[in-house]
Chain A
């Protein structure tokens, strides 16, 4: 608590995490995300039966849609509400604030992936009991790791898009319309198909989830990560550092 020492990073992290949930909209998104994870696992259980890994994996639909939105909202919030005027005078080293904003959604991606796994356990047991079917308990630890990694990547893509545009509505619209975009691009002859193969994070991320990755799949994943995460985040960092709050 002295003016001669910089604000410790963990303090910035706690403050930015708190900002994610201290407003009604933040709380609602957090609750919807948790609710959708539970609902998707339960619904899949009712349809496909007691298969632990399949049920847990269904949560990717909820996480893939909402984690990026959470990321977009956290990095664009200061500009939407002009609170950048307060935040960046308390910590003029803006890159530290940006880093503190990026970590909570990434940690949430890990936590919610594990949470989906935890939810899938009782759901599998209950479905097996109710429908009198043998439960399939086996899952590959490597699958859980890859799947969690894929969820972290989509959250990171949301953060990068938000940082690049610094405008929540635009970033959310782009995020939600990318699956459609890729299905259109993929149908545009061989060039379009190749582009979609290399740059669609949802397609390239599938190799992570399968737990087996060839060199060419790895290269495609790296290309899509560079395109959706590394490049926009680098440009977004420059924008955050330079932009003059109005």
Chain B
């Protein structure tokens, strides 16, 4: 459903992604795990056609994303919950999306229910939303077209424990219904609890991939993660020189 083939991206002298190859299958949740600046956001932006790879290719449902006729009806995307016009209401944001995709307005109410935003909250301006509410709104927007593939960048940021629990259930249900879900995170425990597969990335390179059990190696996922990402650790004395942000901003 999602396929990265030897994707590299170079910004000036910085190698943001280096030969990234992995796939996400149907009916599964894949966690894209890596420290801040590892290149997660860069990879996802290349996947959805917002950014061009320096080499390699990425496809969704067998096609480069930008070549799909109406991708919003097949692929749901949340790249940055903060990227909203603060002056629009949550409902208006979803209405614009539903109009663009040619969906009935009733779909707006349905996705609001799905993500647990109330009628009153939906009529408030996004500028007054907490980060958790923005995440819910962003997920609602991604779900508008009832997609087969879901791509979420750090969707758990800003969610409270109930919110994280809710999202886990939601993603699990979607995957069980046949959806391919790719979510990025720098938070190990969240990913561990929801993902079937994990792709670990650091400094733009895929460090390891497999099922949660395979990567745990009987010692826990955290230990594997810390070992593999030791050279990007910024704490004094750990690893080599302080990590260079391979991605741009919080990847």
Contact = CB atoms under 8 A, between A and B. Distances in A.
Interface residues of B, number: 37
A11 B100 contact: yes
Given A7-B100, A19-B96, A23-B88, A85 B83 contact: yes
Given A1-B102, A18-B99, A90 B92 contact: no
B244 interface: no
A90 B102 contact: no
B51 interface: yes
- Determine which residue in B50, B82, B248 has the highest number of CB atoms from chain A within 10 A of its CB, and name it: B50
B48 interface: yes
Interface in A186-202: none
B50 A88 contact: yes
B80 to A, nearest CB: 6
A234 to B, nearest CB: 21
Contacts of B45: 244-245
A2 B70 contact: yes
Nearest to B86: A81
A1 B87 contact: no
Contacts of A14: 99
Given A3-B69, A7-B100, A22 B83 contact: no
Interface in A1-31: 1-8, 11-12, 14-15, 18-19, 22-26
A7 B70 contact: yes
Interface stretch (B71-79, B164-172, B189-197, B225-233): B71-79
B232 to A, nearest CB: 22
A81 B73 contact: no
B82 A23 contact: no
A25 B45 CA distance: 30
B100 A23 contact: no
Interface string A171-197: 000000000000000000000000000
A2 B96 CA distance: 18
Interface in B53-75: 65-74
A75 to B, nearest CB: 15
Contacts of B73: 1-3
Of A8, A25, A246, most buried by chain B (CB within 10 Å of CB) is: A246
Nearest to B82: A82
Given A22-B88, A81-B85, A89-B50, A15 B69 contact: no
Contacts of B80: 82, 85
Given A23-B85, A82-B83, A85-B80, A11 B102 contact: yes
A15 B100 CA distance: 7
Contacts of B249: 246
B156 to A, nearest CB: 18
Interface in B206-251: 248-249
A1 B74 CA distance: 11
Contacts of A2: 70, 73
A212 interface: no
B97 interface: yes
Contacts of B102: 1, 7-8, 11
A83 interface: yes
B103 interface: yes
A218 interface: no
Nearest to B153: A85
Contacts of A149: none
B84 interface: yes
Contacts of A86: 79, 83-84, 97, 141
B92 A22 contact: yes
B177 interface: no
Contacts of B85: 23, 77, 81, 83
The 7 A-B residue pairs whose C-beta atoms are closest, nearest first, are A23-B87, A82-B83, A92-B66, A3-B73, A81-B85, A90-B72, A1-B102
22 contacts: A1-B73, A1-B101, A3-B68, A3-B71, A3-B74, A4-B70, A5-B69, A14-B99, A15-B96, A15-B100, A18-B99, A77-B85, A81-B83, A81-B85, A82-B82, A82-B84, A89-B48, A89-B50, A92-B67, A92-B68, A244-B50, A245-B45
